[in-house]
Amino acid sequence: MNNKKILIWGLGKSGISLAKLLIRKGFTVYAGDDKKIPLLNKKIKIVLIKEAEKILKGVDIFSPAPGISPKHRLFIKAQKLKKEILGEIEIASWFLKGKIIAVTGTDGKSTTCAFLHKLLKNAGLEVWLGGNYGKPLADFAEKTKKDDFTILEISSFQGFSLKNFRPNYGFFLNLSDDHLDWHLNLNHYLSAKYKIFQNQTRADFLIINDDNSFARAVSSPAKKYFFSLKNKTADAYLDNETIYAFKEKIFSRSEPKLLGEHNLSNLMASCLLAKILKINNETIRKTIKTFSPLPHRLELARKIKGVKFYNDSKATTPQAMRAAIESFPEQKIILIAGGKDKGSDFKKLKEIIKEKIKAAVLIGKTKNKIKKAWQKATLIFLENSMEKAVKKSFALAKKDEIVLLSPGCSSLDMFANYKERGKKFKKIVKQLK
């Protein structure tokens, strides 16, 4: 493996971590980025895109960052040159010891990974957490030991550039049309997700959402276990406000701090792994009762004059927006939505918007697209900033109603990321009088 030449393109956290790891392992590393390049190890040969196109001919591997689309000129050139195209997860996994738990889906990945991390730690196991959530795998792969568990959140971008990666335990939480701005089409997106589990064997396990047709369609020789909010014949299911796993009562619906049926579904999936790993029910229930929502995921920002403000900035898909709305079955909602378009279809939400949303305050590049999709479903207001949207929503809200930021879109038209968007929302809400 030594003396191999690699071109890493995209120097965010994972690209930098991978470059440093491979330098330690004796690779010749070329690296570059479409944007400004940070200062790095002197042994890393920094190149501009024109040089990169020439260097590509002489390298063994092209490693694109998760944000580098297959439509990118270097990606296309690497494919034409028949170069191995491998992402950071694939390459870093070469140096990983112990068991791998891979979590994917359109929504709910980070919450599930964080919950599993806490659960396994509470059970006394040695656990690492990374991938698309937390640290890049390349940061810690070398430090793992044979009895450790590594939990990896894997996005479709990362799944696309996998080759021999094999998770011992897999989670397929759900899937809907997302990231169609990055992927070539829906089938391309599906194949990137399915790739994550393609190398599993009969010795491995795959936990699947029985309520999602795309998840059910995954092909893997692994032992498959299903969880469902609807189907009582699944391996984990909901019956009379109680969650069962392998026909054993695990917890009641009222126990988790997490809001919404989508989170109930995530917890149900986690219970299956807990039982497979022989973690006792007391540890499972204790973890469920004490686990709090992650920031920017149905996070209560403030209650003022009887109005509760919820920050769900991480909801970057219509499916996540629907899940957030369904988490408040009794209250009237003023919804703040909109952002950068990912090719999503908002028309399919028209019925729930009509039924549940008192008013929608729309921002970002998609505001006119969403307005058109929801015409006559609810009152619609267009605003040009988060500050104006929050103030408008507060003016519309009455006591015991909810103001919900659940954009259903990427943040990249107005903010650096969903975290910055959520922080901005919370800051404005805090200043309301």
CATH number at residue 189: 3.40.1190.10
pLDDT for 1: 63
CATH number at residue 19: 3.40.50.720
Rounded Cα distance, 378 and 380, in Å: 6
| Token pair recorded at residue 13 | 């956290």
The residue among 85, 118, 133 that closes a domain is: 85
pLDDT for 192: 85
pLDDT for 2: 67
Phi-psi bin for 229: left (phi > 0), alpha (psi -120 to 50), beta? Answer: alpha
The residue among 85, 104, 134 that closes a domain is: 85
- Encode pLDDT of 135-186 as tens digits: 999 999 999 999 999 999 999 889 999 999 999 999 999 987 655 565 557 7
105 and 81 in a common domain: no
Q: How far is CA 333 from the centre of its chain?
A: 25
| Higher-scoring residue by pLDDT: 343, 143 | 143
119 and 249 in a common domain: yes
- Encode pLDDT of 276-303 as tens digits: 999 999 999 999 999 999 999 999 999 9
96 and 72 in a common domain: no
- Encode pLDDT of 258-276 as tens digits: 999 999 999 999 999 999 9
The residue among 264, 290, 316 that closes a domain is: 290
307 and 279 in a common domain: no
Q: How far is CA 214 from the centre of its chain?
A: 17
- Encode pLDDT of 28-82 as tens digits: 999 999 987 876 788 899 999 999 999 999 999 999 999 898 899 999 999 999 9
pLDDT for 381: 99
Sheet arrangement for strand 28-32: 45-46, 28-32, 5-9, 61-64, 84-85
Structural domain span for residue 66? 5-85
